[in-house]
Amino acid sequence: MEWRQQTSLSCADSFSEAQRWIEEVTGKSFDCSDFRGALENGVLLCDLINKLKPGIIKRVNRLSTPIAGLDNVSVFLKACGKLGLNESQLFHPGDLQDLSTRVTLKRDESSRRLKNVLITIYWLGRKANQDLLYEGPQLNFKSFEGLLGLALSRVN
């Protein structure tokens, strides 16, 4: 029980830090207080990666349809690959889908999917930190220790 509480608290730190970093890099605020909902259409993610590597994404689909959002998320993930992130460091496009209306959804499933998104943001932040040309806001990697656990200590 204590481990679960610690993990939940650590994830809250990760969510807060990821949001802070995305907002500072892009200069745009999350449209809502829901982390998943703010990133679901992929526009903010595309804006983020274009700030890290200008022009890597040529066109962002700003239509408010689920297909447009999925397209943006896919383009974002491809751009992450171009920056050198491995497939294992990337979330699945479906991880940002709203599953709250599904009757069969397990409580931990939604949380696991959002953690995958956080892990990708962590690795993207590390990549930005290593880029000598990037001079923007830095991601506080300490905020992700509880989320990543031992994996974080191995890469430092």
Q: What is the CA radius of gyration of the chain?
A: 15
pLDDT over threshold 80, residue 89: yes
Task: Give the pLDDT confidence of 40-67 residue by residue, as tens digits.
Answer: 999 999 999 999 999 999 999 999 898 9
Count of Cβ atoms closer than 10 Å to residue 17 Cβ: 21
Q: Is residue 143 part of a domain?
A: yes
CB 84 within 8 A of CB 127: yes
Which has the higher per-residue pLDDT, 6 or 121? Answer: 121
Which has the higher per-residue pLDDT, 7 or 130? Answer: 130
pLDDT for 111 equals 80
Q: Is residue 109 part of a domain?
A: yes
Residues 6 or more apart whose Cβ sits within 8 Å of residue 14: 118, 122, 143, 144, 146, 147
- The listed range with the strongest mean pLDDT (13-17, 20-24, 103-107) is 20-24
Kindly report the backbone phi and psi dihedral angles of residue 34, in degrees, each rounded to the nearest multiple of 5, phi listed first. Answer: -85, 115
Question: Domain tally for the chain?
Answer: 1
Task: Give the pLDDT confidence of 95-148 residue by residue, as tens digits.
Answer: 987 665 555 555 566 788 899 999 999 999 999 999 998 999 999 999 988 777
Q: Is residue 5 part of a domain?
A: no
Q: Is residue 47 part of a domain?
A: yes
pLDDT for 1 equals 30
Q: Is residue 3 part of a domain?
A: no
Dihedral angle, C-alpha 59, 63, 67, 73, nearest 10 °:
50
Of the CA atoms within 13 Å of residue 6, those in its CB half-sphere come to: 7
Q: Which helix (H) or strand (E) holds 19?
A: helix 2-26
Per the structure, the complete domain to which residue 16 belongs is given by 10-147
Q: Is residue 1 part of a domain?
A: no
pTM for the structure as a whole: 0.84
Instruction: Mark 122-146 as b/e (b = at least 16 C-beta within 10 Å).
Output: bbbbbbbeeeeeeeebebebebbbb
- The CATH number given to whatever domain includes residue 97 is 1.10.418.10
